[in-house]
């Protein structure tokens, strides 16, 4: 057994450093006029501002030492080389290979994998082209106008987030297609969508890496019955109204997905990292293949920077180390993601899965129980809206919360020059001003107020650390880079904590015991359960 992290020299030095630095306020640290220059970086189209974090140059040096002791470089190299870094599932984690350009080469178990990856993109492109050209017709002969993605977790969150974020990039050819998402097990989103859709012109994507997820398969069966109820049991119904996306072609086959409408991914693509694969089909349908490829290219650029840049200029490494500092040394166990951009409304939810399903772990890769904290609780929402909701807690609540402010410098420069454009640009400026004002107030507290605030209930404590991440504008390329940046941040933190970020055993048992619970609910039996569950079952049985 190797040393536990907390026994490492750099860890203990960081603890000592933290106990000293806690005596210096964040407000005091920010009196240094060089603070922004010293703690901000520009790279890969981003400005990363760490100047409002509660740290000094010494903190960063000690964090680099910790990363060194945890062999971060070797772990990064192992991941990109295709080593089986997901040991509990004996798999590599090669989602970065999905963003390699066509001329690149990568071997996995003696097989070249970039060629099949691009063949899969070509198959996806052919389906997209057919739907954009209105050549895909339902069994009644009408062209498809509505596409419903049936998927959950990674098979929904990435595609939903990206199609929403980039809706301004829809090409003319995609304007007639409406993309919908339905994931909830109870069928509520699907029922709402079906009530508005025309079966003759609706196509479903069954998107499930495993093709066993009950939430998705039960929605798929409901969709099939809805189509049959209206169009009859037509022999081509499944062929013309369903596309399947999965790592298991045999399961798609058994369900009845036509071979030419099956898109496959590989077991080395984790669900929460799968939007780069054919799971991203809704993105490609909405934005077109060119923009989907720009998303991949942006992520690839970040992959290269992550592997090559020295740690002091490596955005993902810096974000990860600052997170470790907040969580493990300042005791801040929650991270709010606050995009000041309505287009990124789904980004906090997307990151919640990425971070918490990856790093919500309490044993290390050697099976030892950890004596230190790992993943923070991650939450958030569109910043300006959240100001009218949960910012009260950020400013005057009892706990320290770390925040990531995310904003674009420019907006609305490409829309026609009308009165509305001017107003929208003003709105954007107002949004940026709010973003900067809030992070400043969170840092300085009352010191940011123009006059003294004697009453206790009006006081702002300040001392809430935050990162501001900015970029020029939200393009497919930049969004790709943004997502990859957070992916790598999560990976670096896992390397330091010594955990496997690529498995998710904690979601399995709940699914399993739901089967017996459902059987008991139907059979009106409850004896084998704990008293609380017996009580809940009895309540339903009595109705």
Ligand X SMILES: O=P(O)(O)OC[C@H]1O[C@](O)(CO)[C@@H](O)[C@@H]1O
By CB under 6 A, what part of segment 322-341 binds ligand X? none
Cα–Cα distance measured from residue 101 to residue 114, given in angstroms and rounded to the nearest whole number: 8
Contact 205, 172 (CB under 8 A): no
Here the tokens at position 319 are: 């974000």
293 Cβ contact list (under 8 Å, min separation 6): 121
Counting Cβ atoms within 10 Å, is residue 424 exposed (0-12), middle (13-18) or buried (19+)?
middle
Kindly state whether residue 282 participates in binding ligand X, applying the rule CB under 6 A. Answer: no
Residues 6 or more apart from 249 whose CB is under 8 A from it? Answer: 259, 262, 264
The distance of closest approach from Cβ of residue 246 to ligand X in the complex, given in angstroms and rounded to an integer, is 8
Nearest to ligand X of 74, 507 (CB atom): 507
Site string for ligand X, 424-463 (x = CB under 6 A): ----------------------------------------
Q: Does 210 contact ligand X by CB under 6 A?
A: yes
Is residue 513 close enough to count as binding ligand X by CB under 6 A?
no
Does the footprint of ligand X cover residue 219 (CB under 6 A)? no
Handedness of CA 338, 339, 341, 342 (dihedral sign): negative
Which two tokens mark 151? 């998927």
**Pairwise CA distance, residues 18 & 192, whole Å:** 52
* Strand 46-49 versus strand 40-43 pairing type: antiparallel
Residue selected from 52, 272, 300, 488 as contacting ligand X according to rule CB under 6 A: 272
Q: Residues in contact with ligand X, total (CB under 6 A)?
A: 14
Tell me how far, at minimum, the Cβ of 354 lies from ligand X, in Å: 10
Q: What binding mask, one character per residue, do residues 231-270 give for ligand X by CB under 6 A, x or -?
A: ----------------------------------------
Nearest CB to ligand X, comparing residues 153 and 465: 153
Pick from 216, 262, 277, 431: which binds ligand X (CB under 6 A)? 216
Is residue 359 within the footprint of ligand X (CB under 6 A)? no
- Min CB(179)–ligand X separation in Å: 18
Find the radius of gyration of the CA atoms of the chain: 25
Name the residue nearer to ligand X (CB basis): 190 or 469: 190
* Residues 543, 533: Cα–Cα separation, whole Å: 16
Report the alpha-carbon angle 228-229-235, nearest 5: 20
**Residue 504 engages ligand X in binding (rule: CB under 6 A):** yes
Nearer to ligand X among residue 96 and residue 155 (C-beta): 155
CB of 216 or CB of 240, closer to ligand X: 216
CA pair distance 464, 403, nearest whole angstrom: 8
Q: In the complex, what is the shortest distance from the CB of residue 405 to ligand X, in angstroms, rounded to a whole number?
A: 27
Q: 205 near 211, Cβ under 8 Å?
A: no
For residue 315, CA distances in Å to 160, 297, 375, 488, 492 come to 26, 18, 19, 9, 11
Site for ligand X contains 382 (CB under 6 A): no
Q: Which of 74, 102, 377, 507 binds ligand X (CB under 6 A)?
A: 507
Instruction: Give the one residue of 59, 86, 208, 466 binding ligand X; rule: CB under 6 A.
Output: 208
Query: What is the DSSP pairing of strand 202-207 with strand 146-150?
Result: parallel
The answer to whether the beta carbons of residues 412 and 424 sit under 8 Å apart is yes
Q: Which of 156, 355, 357, 487 is catalytic?
A: 357
Least distance from ligand X to the Cβ atom of residue 268, Å: 14
Q: Which of 92, 244, 271, 445 binds ligand X (CB under 6 A)?
A: 271
Name the residue among 412, 449, 450, 454 with its Cα closest to residue 429. 412
- Structure token digits, residue 192: 């709402």
Q: Quick check: is 388 catalytic? A: yes
Q: Which of 388, 417, 512, 527 is catalytic?
A: 388
Please say which residue, 274 or 326, places its beta carbon nearer to ligand X.
Answer: 274
Tokens standing for residue 472: 């020029």
Nearer to ligand X by C-beta: 304 or 507? 507
Distance of CA 526 to the CA centre of its chain: 39
Shortest distance (Å) from residue 247 CB to ligand X: 8
Name the packing angle between helices 315-324 and 289-308 (round to 10°).
70
Q: In this complex, which beta carbon is closest to ligand X, that of residue 30 or of residue 277?
A: 277
User: For the sheet containing 242-246, what is the strand order?
Assistant: 178-182, 146-150, 202-207, 242-246, 262-264
Q: Which stretch binds ligand X (CB under 6 A): 64-72, 126-134, 189-197, 205-213?
A: 205-213
* 228 carries an active-site annotation: no
Rule CB under 6 A: choose which of 10, 44, 96, 213 binds ligand X: 213
Instruction: Report the residue number, 179 or 444, with the smaller CB distance to ligand X.
Output: 179
Q: Around Cβ 328, how many Cβ atoms within 10 Å?
A: 23
* By CB under 6 A, residue 86 contacts ligand X: no
Q: Which range binds ligand X by CB under 6 A, 41-49, 158-166, 207-215, 338-346? A: 207-215
Minimum CB distance to ligand X smaller for 158 or for 383: 158
Q: What is the largest CA-CA distance in the chain?
A: 76
Cβ atoms of residues 473 and 481 within 8 Å = no
Smallest distance, Å, CB 208 to ligand X?
A: 3
| Cα atoms in the Cβ-side hemisphere of radius 13 Å centred on 456 | 1
Residue 209 CB, shortest distance to ligand X, in Å, is: 4
Write down the catalytic residue from 3, 259, 511, 515. 511
Which residue carries 């939430």 as its tokens?
A: 215
Listed in order, strand segments (DSSP E) in 321-443 are: 334-339, 377-380, 402-408
Closest Cα partner for 218 from 228, 208, 209? 208
Q: Tell me how far apart the alpha carbons of residues 2 and 209 are, in angstroms, rounded to a whole number.
A: 35
CB of residue 504 vs ligand X: minimum separation in angstroms?
5
Least distance from ligand X to the Cβ atom of residue 154, Å:
3
Binding mask 145-184 for ligand X (x = CB under 6 A): -------xxxx-----------------------------
Catalytic residue annotation? 357, 388, 511
Rule CB under 6 A: which residues touch ligand X?
152-155, 208-210, 213, 216, 271-272, 357, 504, 507
């Amino acid at each position: 057994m190797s040393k536990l992290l907390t026994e490492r020299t750099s860890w203990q030095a960081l603890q000592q450093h933290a106990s000293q630095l806690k005596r210096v306020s964040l407000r005091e640290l920010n009196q240094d006029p060089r603070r922004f220059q010293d703690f901000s970086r520009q790279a890969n189209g981003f400005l990363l501002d760490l100047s409002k974090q509660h740290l000094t140059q010494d903190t960063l040096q000690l964090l680099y030492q910790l990363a060194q002791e945890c062999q971060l470089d070797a772990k990064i190299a192992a991941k990109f080389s295709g080593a089986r870094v997901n040991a509990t599932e004996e798999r590599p984690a090669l989602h970065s290979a999905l963003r390699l350009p066509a001329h690149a080469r990568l071997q996995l178990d003696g097989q070249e994998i970039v060629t099949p990856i691009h063949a899969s993109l070509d198959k996806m492109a052919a389906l997209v082209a057919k739907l954009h050209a209105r050549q895909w017709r339902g069994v009644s002969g009408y062209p498809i106008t509505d596409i419903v993605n049936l998927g959950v977790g990674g098979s929904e969150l990435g595609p939903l987030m990206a199609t929403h974020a980039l809706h301004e990039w829809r090409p003319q050819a995609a304007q007639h297609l409406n993309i919908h998402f339905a994931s909830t097990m109870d069928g509520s989103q699907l029922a709402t969508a079906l009530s508005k859709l025309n079966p003759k012109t609706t196509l479903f994507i069954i998107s499930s890496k495993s093709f066993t997820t009950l939430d998705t398969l039960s929605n798929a069966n409901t969709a099939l019955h809805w189509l049959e109820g209206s169009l009859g049991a037509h022999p081509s119904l499944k062929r013309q109204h369903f596309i399947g996306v999965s790592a298991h072609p045999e399961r798609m086959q058994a369900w009845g997905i036509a071979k030419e409408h099956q898109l496959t991914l590989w077991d080395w693509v984790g669900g929460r990292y799968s939007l780069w694969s054919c799971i991203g089909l809704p993105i490609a349908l909405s934005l077109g293949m060119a923009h989907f490829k720009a998303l991949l290219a942006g992520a690839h650029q970040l992959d290269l920077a992550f592997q090559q840049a020295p740690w002091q200029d490596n955005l993902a490494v810096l974000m990860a180390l600052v997170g470790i500092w907040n969580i493990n040394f300042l005791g801040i166990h929650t991270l709010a993601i606050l995009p000041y951009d309505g287009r990124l409304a789904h980004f906090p939810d997307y990151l919640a899965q990425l971070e918490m399903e990856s790093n919500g772990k309490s044993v290390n890769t050697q099976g030892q129980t950890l004596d230190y904290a790992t993943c923070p609780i991650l939450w958030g929402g569109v910043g300006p809206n959240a100001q009218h909701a949960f910012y009260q807690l950020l400013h005057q609540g009892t706990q320290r919360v770390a925040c990531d402010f995310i904003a674009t410098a420019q907006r609305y420069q490409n829309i026609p020059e009308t009165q509305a454009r001017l107003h929208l640009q003003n709105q954007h400026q107002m949004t940026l001003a709010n973003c900067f004002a809030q992070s400043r107030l969170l840092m300085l507290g009352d010191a940011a107020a123009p006059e003294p605030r004697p009453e206790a209930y009006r006081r702002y404590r300040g001392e809430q650390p935050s990162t501001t991440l900015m970029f020029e504008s939200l393009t497919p390329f930049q969004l790709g880079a943004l997502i990859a940046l957070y992916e790598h941040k999560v990976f670096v933190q896992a390397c330091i904590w010594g955990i496997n970020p690529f498995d998710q055993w904690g979601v399995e048992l709940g699914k399993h015991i739901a089967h017996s619970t459902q059987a008991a609910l139907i059979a009106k039996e409850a004896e084998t359960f704990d008293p609380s569950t017996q009580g809940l079952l009895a309540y339903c049985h009595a109705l």
